[in-house]
Amino acid sequence: MADPLLEVVGLTKRFGGVVASDAISLTLMPGELHAIIGPNGAGKTTLIGQLTGETAPDSGRIRFAGRDITALPVYRRSRFGLARSFQISSLFPEFTALDNVALAVQAHSGHSFRFWGNARREAALREPARAALGRVGLAERDGMLVADLSHGERRALEIAMALATAPRMVLLDEPMAGMGPEESSRLVETLRRLKSSVTILLIEHDMDAVFALADRISVLVDGRIIASGAPAAIRTDVAVRQAYLGESEGAMHD
């Protein structure tokens, strides 16, 4: 068996008396799509913060691609191949869609202490950015300002920016957030196509999407992983069903 790409061991984070992450352990194999689900307040945001480096854990380790990244700052993790998208679209609104993605490419093509040449004319930045836009179906929108894109297009742009950094793993933070059914199903198709080429950690509320896409699912409740396994096993797991019954009855039906 290959080495895991991401290995989280005993990750714990407290905020005052609240244990937001309670000894979370998690592994991600290269090439898999691993989904994390959990009711509101389960500690998903805190977990993401620790994986991306915005939140420091109280204890526990995070290993990524054979290296301990627990103490690395955000930008170093990104350089190391851990990309993310944001739950609430976090883009550069004054820039065009292509500019947004090209900036992500630029972040991974050497230092940016280059003061003279016009970066918008560099094929080495624009072409990979165009390709990333194409992968999420935004090729036609390259020249549009982010402010003029639809919600669904911005969500797709989020993912394109993560992909453009040629990551080893992409952490998608509720990519379907705020989407209508039609937009969601289009994004599911996009993710299904991406699955084969990149390892994905998917945090998502949309159960249809999760069960359609995931190779494995981990269920986070009250800061703890209460179950982890193939979708079929999770669907019938008693603890999972109980945890979800309180929040939204029928969410697990399907």
Partner 1 sequence: MSERVTISRAARLTPRLAVNVVVLFILALVPVYAMLSGDSFAMTLFTRVLILALAALSLNLIMGFGGMVSFGHAAYLGIGGYAVGILAKEGIGSGFVQWPAAIAASALYALIVGALSLRTRGVYFIMITLAFAQMVYYVAIGLDRYGGDDGLTIYKRSRFGDIVDLNNKTFFYYLCFALLLAGIYLTWRLVNSRFGLVIQGARSNERRMRAIGFPTYRYKLVCFVIAGAMCGLAGALLANHTDFISPAMMHWTRSGDLMVMAVLGGMPAMFGPLIGALTFLLLEEGLSRITDYPNLILGPMLLMVAIYVHGGIDGLIGSMRRG
Contact residues: partner 1, CB under 8 A:
52, 54, 73-75, 78-79, 83-84, 86, 90-96, 99, 103-104, 106-108, 112-120, 122, 145, 148, 161, 165
- Token pair belonging to 239: 């603890």
Strand partners, 63: 7, 68
Smallest separation, CB 200 to partner 1 (Å): 16
Q: Which of 22, 90, 39, 27 is nearest to 239 (CA)?
A: 39
- Token pair belonging to 182: 């039609």
Comparison of 20 and 82: residue with beta carbon closer to partner 1? 82
Comparison of 73 and 134: residue with beta carbon closer to partner 1? 73
DSSP H helices, the chain, are: 44-52, 74-79, 97-107, 123-135, 151-163, 181-195, 207-213, 231-236, 238-247
Comparison of 13 and 77: residue with beta carbon closer to partner 1? 77
- The full 3-state SS of 81-105, as one line of letters, equals CEEEECCCCCCCCCCEHHHHHHHHH
- Token pair belonging to 135: 């992968």
- Token pair belonging to 1: 């068996």
Residues 6+ away with beta carbon under 8 Å from 93: 145, 146, 147
Smallest separation, CB 72 to partner 1 (Å): 12
Comparison of 158 and 206: residue with beta carbon closer to partner 1? 158
Smallest separation, CB 3 to partner 1 (Å): 24
Smallest separation, CB 138 to partner 1 (Å): 17
Comparison of 75 and 192: residue with beta carbon closer to partner 1? 75
Nearest-angstrom CA–CA distance, 158 and 118? 24
Nearest-angstrom CA–CA distance, 187 and 181? 10
Nearest-angstrom CA–CA distance, 64 and 232? 28
Smallest separation, CB 85 to partner 1 (Å): 9
Smallest separation, CB 46 to partner 1 (Å): 16
Comparison of 123 and 238: residue with beta carbon closer to partner 1? 123
Nearest-angstrom CA–CA distance, 157 and 97? 7
Comparison of 83 and 234: residue with beta carbon closer to partner 1? 83
Smallest separation, CB 108 to partner 1 (Å): 6
